[in-house]
Amino acid sequence: MLSKKGAHSRVFRLSSSLCCAALMLGATACSGRRPVRIAAPNAVDAVTDWRKAVSDEIKQSFTGAPTAPEDIRNKALSFSEALVVARYGNIRESLSRGRAVSAVAFDALNIGLTAAVPIVNGSRGKTILGALATGFQGVNNSIDKNVFQQQTTGALLTAMDSCVARQRAVLAQRRLLPFARYDEYNAYSDLVVLYGCTTLAGMVQELTETQAVESKNLKTVLKPVDSTTLTAFQELQAAFVKSLDGDSKAARKFLELLKVPGVTATSTREELTALYRGLLGAAAGSEEFRRTMLQVALDAGLLRSTN
Amino acid sequence: MSLQVDGKTSLPEQERQLQFVETFFVEVIDYVAASNGNNDVTTKSIPGAVAQPLQLKQIAAPADLTAIASAGATIVFDRVAFVLGARERVVGFRA
């Protein structure tokens, strides 16, 4: 049985533990570290701005303001979607023209087009687009700009088109859901994704993901191999190994003549072997490349002509 | 990238193709019929040339497999693969 004093002491210890735990959750006093922000203040403001702007717009709707939550949400969706699609059309045109005339700077195009979209409803429309853009900013920063520079306009436009079409289909499906399952915040999230499709960052992301899937599914069917070719390649491999066993000069020259990237004077045996291995894909699918390899092997002194 | 061998070709032709692949410092470790009528080749990188060339043999019964193994060969795979367009039991081994 506990004494009264002991019980008091326990209660005190428990309450101080709880206090410390509470402080730790606040992530300030106990750990001395700064709290982790789940949503940055500007992102929270963006949602609020978006809600207010669409709400004001709905009130002035000429078909009469809806009253049911689902109808309000759908109206907000329609209006925001219309703004993004207006921007989408403008970007399509500008991208085609801009890319055709000169190289376009990644950031300049993004910012420039946000301002250049004809907004039917003045500042309110801009607020809505701005709120969606704020939601997408994090993704924007993580995109590799070099990837963008390597893409053709056609590839970028196709990526944007497929991304927009897919996301609009998602919105069309979800607007049928009851408000309890799909509220205005869910709608905002989906609209941010739709907006993202119309940014260069979104296009590049779409393209990168598509290319990754394609390269994963890529199958090279081997071209037929006759006995002469097989023997020649067995000899080539043996000669390559022999060169690596020696000074590696011929092996290195062979790869350099084939313009294989990554060959240096200090490349190790393993690196040179890996680079040779990398030629398999091209040799498997192209008889012409096989002939080139054998010719280059002669030029590099790996193989000797039998003529 | 993954490699496939045309499933409509003969077994000796397929064997040559696999031996060709192995001249690129890789070793074939699996070979199996794919859904598109070709055969999927699975390879493993190796530091040098393969010690013994890969050979293919079509078998009809487990007894044939035992015969190959008892002759001292190393069985690499025993799979169903397309040969001349038909699904056949194919064994890959190294003498």
**Helix/strand/coil (H, E, C) string of A226-292?**
CHHHHHHHHHHHHHHHHHHHCCCHHHHHHHHHCCCCCCCCCCCHHHHHHHHHCCHHHHHHCHHHHHH
| Cβ within 8 Å, pair A280-B19 | no
What is the chain B residue with the closest CA to A219?
A: B2
Q: Which of B6, B16, B49 sits opposite A230 (nearest CB)?
A: B16
ipTM over 0.90: yes
A-B contacts (CB, under 8 Å): 76
What is the chain A residue with the closest CA to B34?
A: A219
Beta bridge partners of B43: B28
Euclidean distance between CA atoms A189 and A186, whole angstroms: 5
Residue, of B23 and A194, whose pLDDT is higher: B23
| Cβ within 8 Å, pair A230-B45 | no
Confidence of residue A264 (pLDDT cuts 50, 70, 90): confident
What is the chain A residue with the closest CA to B42?
A: A219
Residue, of A110 and B73, whose pLDDT is higher: B73
Euclidean distance between CA atoms A209 and A207, whole angstroms: 5
| Cβ within 8 Å, pair B24-A241 | no
Q: How near does any CA of chain A get to the CA of B75, in Å? A: 22
Euclidean distance between CA atoms A163 and A148, whole angstroms: 16
| Cβ within 8 Å, pair A221-B24 | no
Q: Which of A226, A234, A277 sits opposite B45 (nearest CB)?
A: A277
Euclidean distance between CA atoms A93 and A209, whole angstroms: 24
Of A129-133, A246-250, B1-5, which gets the smallest average pLDDT? Answer: A129-133
| Cβ within 8 Å, pair B16-A279 | no
Listed in sequence order, the residues at least 6 apart from A88 whose beta carbon sits closer than 8 Å to its beta carbon are A160, A164, A197, A198
Q: How near does any CA of chain A get to the CA of B57, in Å? A: 18
Looking at residue A68, its amino acid is A
| Cβ within 8 Å, pair B17-A277 | no
Percentage of residues of chain A with pLDDT beyond 70: 63
What is the chain A residue with the closest CA to B44?
A: A277
Q: What is the pLDDT of residue A263?
A: 86
Euclidean distance between CA atoms B3 and B12, whole angstroms: 18
Confidence of residue A73 (pLDDT cuts 50, 70, 90): confident
Q: Does residue A158 carry a pLDDT above 70?
A: yes
Q: How does DSSP classify residue B22?
A: G
Q: What is the pLDDT of residue A199?
A: 77
| Cβ within 8 Å, pair B13-A224 | yes
- Kindly state the average pLDDT of the residues B45-74: 89
Q: Which of A233, A276, A277 sits opposite B20 (nearest CB)?
A: A233
A236 contacts A300 by C-beta, under 8 angstroms: no
The residue to which tokens 């192209």 are assigned: A286
What's the start-to-end Cα distance of chain A, in Å? 106
For residue B4, list chain A residues with Cβ-Cβ distance below 8 A: 219-222
Q: What is the pLDDT of residue A215?
A: 55
Over the stretch A195-218, which tens digit does the pLDDT of each residue have?
888 777 777 777 777 666 655 556
Q: What is the pLDDT of residue B1?
A: 61
Q: What is the pLDDT of residue B89?
A: 92
Q: How near does any CA of chain A get to the CA of B18, in Å? A: 9
| Cβ within 8 Å, pair A274-B45 | yes
The residue to which tokens 């394609």 are assigned: A214
Q: C-alpha distances in angstroms, B30 versus B18, B25, B75, B92?
A: 11, 16, 11, 8
